[in-house]
Amino acid sequence: MPLDAIEVPVSEAFDGLSKQYRLNATIPALPFGAVDKFTIHLMISGKHILIKESFKLRIHTSKIFYDFPFILETNKNDATNKAKRILSKI
């Protein structure tokens, strides 16, 4: 099911990312150095075959937030009919 976008004020979109989406994911409190994971399912709509878009995952704590920019590169016509996803740091 598509998520509704939240428009970001121009003054806050300094990185060119003008829409936000609230993901239904929670990361429990972890001790320093520990890791956890969660899955984000993406639905890509439209007629584009090759897609290369910038995104930023923002994780909030009770005191601060952390930004993790990445590029999602997808070919909707790959041989197995599955999206090929390559995440790389900007």
Task: Indicate if the pLDDT at residue 35 is higher than 80.
Answer: yes
* pLDDT computed for residue 36 by the predictor: 79
Closest CA to 36 of 51, 49, 26, 24: 26
Task: Indicate if the pLDDT at residue 81 is higher than 50.
Answer: no
Please state whether the predicted TM-score (pTM) of the whole model is above 0.75.
Answer: no
Tokens standing for 61? Answer: 């704590």
DSSP state of 20: E
Confidence of residue 27 (pLDDT cuts 50, 70, 90): confident
pLDDT per residue as tens digits for the range 57-70: 888 888 998 888 88
Residues 19 and 3: beta-carbon distance below 8 Å: no
